[in-house]
Structure 1
Amino acid sequence: MTAPYAGGCLCGQVRWRATAEPANVRVCHCRNCQRAVGGPFFARAMFLANDVEREGETLSWPTSERVDRFACARCGTPIFAGPKDPPARLAVSLATLDDPGAIAPEMHIWVSEKLGWLCIDDGLPQHAEGPR
């Protein structure tokens, strides 16, 4: 499948639409992502911010010096992560896609912080930290 991509939160109050292909698609295993999404990893597609249209009320908070997170103000679904360093980008949770198979990850990052009980056997490249 190709752009546009669309998705939303559990209750449907927040909707998003990406009008271009993602810059990258990664599964992040860092502790910040684990805690922010309440799961073992954050599978996300990174888009240029201008390529993502958003509607609905979100709550935002910083989870590090570099990243702000956004969740639905009504149901709490974690949807976006916004890196603060240029260029302006927006990471969108792959789990929020209307068609969850529309975008597939291309690599795993921060596997040095992967939960011990999680087995990665999908054949994708794995990086101890971010890719160089």
Structure 2
Amino acid sequence: MTAPHSGGCRCGAVRFEASAEPHHISYCHCGDCRRASGAPVSAFVGFLADQVAFNGKSLKSYRNGPVERTFCGICGSPIAYTDKRLDNQIYFMLGAMDMPAYFRPTVHAHVREQLPFLHMPDALPRELKTSVPRPGEQTPEEQRSDGTQS
């Protein structure tokens, strides 16, 4: 399958379409994503923001520091997040995609915060922190090489 990739909220009031392939697909186990999604783990599909178009007028947002999360103002479905530190990137909730089975995650992020009863027996890399480094942070490879990760 190739672009465009589309998705939206549960009630259909918010729709989006990406005109390119994603640059990142991952699971996130951090507490912030858990609270924002209401799920024990989240999965995200990352695109360049300038390759995404939105339709609908009910898109709402909530900002917490550099992170802004968007959701439908009618049905409350979580849609995406952006981070001011990640220029021109947007990460859609995997569940908001029309064809979520197409997007297979390639890494687990923030496994330090993974719930102890959640078992995901795959062979994907597991990062103690982020899988998408922010400016000024070490990359996952640098974290492993300096001994901060196993």
Equivalent in the alignment of 1:85: 85
1:30 Cα deviation from its structure 2 partner = 0.4
SS in 2 for 1:81: strand
- In 1, the alpha carbon distance for the partners of 2:130 and 2:9 equals 27
Higher alpha-carbon deviation: 10-19 or 84-93: 84-93
Report SS of the residue matched to 1:101: helix
Distance 1:30 1:75 in 2: 24
* Unaligned runs of at least 5 residues, structure 1: none
Query: What residue number does 2:128 align with?
Result: 128
Distance in 1 between residues matched to 2:20 and 2:73, nearest whole Å: 26
Partner amino acid for 1:61? Y
Q: How does 1:62-81 map to 2 (within 5 A)?
A: 62-63=63-64, 65-81=65-81
Q: Is the 8 A contact 1:26 1:45 kept in 2?
A: yes
Match for 2:90: what amino acid? L
- Provide the rounded CA distance (Å) in 2 between the counterparts of 1:3 and 1:70: 22
Equivalent pair of 1:26/1:108 in contact (CA under 8 Å): yes
Alpha-carbon separation, structure 2, partners of 1:75 and 1:106: 30
**Partner letter of residue 7 of structure 1?**
G
The 8 Å contact of residues 2 and 102 in structure 1, kept in 2 or not, is answered as no
1:23 paired residue number? 23
Q: Which amino acid aligns with 1:62?
A: R
Distance 1:119 1:86 in 2: 30
Map of 1:2 onto structure 2: 2
Per the normalisation by structure 2, the TM-score is 0.83
Structure having the higher strand fraction is 1
CA distance in 1, matches of 2:114, 2:67: 19
Give 1:115's aligned residue. Answer: 115
Q: Kindly report structure 1 stretches of 4+ aligned residues shifted beyond 6 Å.
A: none
Match of 1:11 in 2: 11
Q: Which has the larger radius of gyration?
A: 2
Q: Which structure has greater helix proportion?
A: 2
- TM-score of the superposition, structure 1-length normalised? 0.94
